[in-house]
Structure 1
Amino acid sequence: MKWQRTVQDYQHYLKIERGLSGNSIANYTLDVEKLILFLSDNKLTADPININKEVIQRFVYEIAKKVNPRSQARIISGLKSFFNYLVFEDYREDNPMELIESPKTGRKLPDTLSVEEIDTLIKAIDLSSPQGERNRAMLETLYGCGLRVSELTNLKLSDLYFDEEFIKVTGKGDKQRFVPISPINRKYINIYRNEIRLHLTIQKGHEDILFLNRRGKQLTRAMIFTIIKQLAENIGLQKNISPHTFRHSFATHLLTNGADLRAIQQMLGHESITTTEVYMHVDRSHLAEVMNQFHPRK
């Protein structure tokens, strides 16, 4: 069995059987490709069927020297999934990753921005250019709705339900959810839509995409990263931020101001409440305030 064909079958399984998004499939594929590259660099001829635990252990030892524990754990998890698929399809009888332990990484607290830092970033946008109005609407939507960057780039005109004060978001595994959108957020999207986007020459196939580049095509994830990094540099922000920082800030600020964790879970589109609980790292004084306000024995 050749690696290329096996990886293609695995991608098909992830898409059809597990319903994963394109980004998730790409990440799982990258984990397997790292193993394939290791075999090639070391002139090892093992294929997906006969690769053994000793070769896997050598690979894990090599990546441990090159990447941090969190990345190492991610690769190990991805490969366990790949070999579990081979066992499931009866290509192998065992999973060579079975006894490989992931490094202890602890639970990383998400980076956040204060409300003042977010305001400063948005105020630093150059509104004299058409891209400025678009960028302001995008950042307001990232923060105001707690979106993932892929959810932002895939947002469509037909997903905007402004009369009902919601937007429809397509998240991981093509699962859809409705997220409330504030009046100020709707205002900036409408400015961009009516004053900027309306005058673009929109490319075929991109007619329903909300946020477009100057050539009338859907923005890439990398472009969103670049826009945010440039703004952070312009205001001298020392934090290492990304589009996901706005999502973390959205959840943290909601929790700090007393929002219910279950409601935050639904707005973020988390499958499990455990994922949302990472935001419980907020100032413990907030928890004391909640106790004093709501406990009957105060």
Structure 2
Amino acid sequence: MPLDLGWVRALRVNRSAAERRTSTLPGRRSVKNTHQAAWLLRAVSMIDLTTLAGDDTPGRVHRLCAKARQPVRADLLDALGVARLTTGAVCVYHEMIAPALAALQGTGIPVAAVSTGFPAGLSPFATRLAEIEASVAAGAQEIDIVISRRHVLTGDWGALYDEVAAFRAACGPAHLKTILATGELGTLTNVARASLVCMMAGADFIKTSTGKEPVNATLPVGLTMVRAIRAYHAATGHRVGFKPAGGISAAKDALVWLALIKEELGDRWLAPDLFRFGASSLLGDIERQIEHHVTGAYSAAWRHPMG
């Protein structure tokens, strides 16, 4: 949609109110036993299993993809009566797209690639566009881009809109997940405005963080972003997805995030096409909790490797 500066500038976020609202979630929303196992299995289906390291190799990516195909041990799934479970996607750098596609062939699990000078987003603009086009041509079905934080910090909403719109056009048929790097945006009001501008420019998802900032996904930031999504849906009828990323490593934290989504956006968003976790270590703890539910005993973390 066209950029609506009046709507953007009218947005304000009361940080204290957001913190009070989210502080109630862990104690007020608690699921146990079979219900907890069901929620955790749903969380697994919405994880973007990720490796973004300088020492990534095709072998590491193949092992990660094997985990994406079978994220929870078969004996545990059999005990719960679950026939098939996979993660939401596998996320890699451009150079690892081909190994990931080969390892996931026939599974229906999409490959996501980070792009546009990830994580800082300070490469020349033409280079960032070319990165997107190359990753889409290589077969990536989802592109995780980073915005130029300076546009938010200086209030240059037109520049941010034009940037994201150009990224959206370069993605073609691929889904565009727009990373705001919220830990570097200063205020929740900036987070809300940036969220809205990115959605106006065509983002399919808005995502909190690269996972490389000192502060990543927090519940007040999440609340701010999902309420922007809710307002955008109310005004346009268009659903935009949400992806918290960075620092979510415990199963109990995943349950809190799912409760936030259910309360603020509703059940329709509790599906991989509209919600993802940007986390890998989270899966290990979820599998431990599921094993505890099935056997009554906790296992060591090393028994649940990522690959």
* TM-score (ref. length: structure 1): 0.23
More strand by share: 2
* TM-score (ref. length: structure 2): 0.22
- Larger CA Rg, structure 1 vs 2: 1
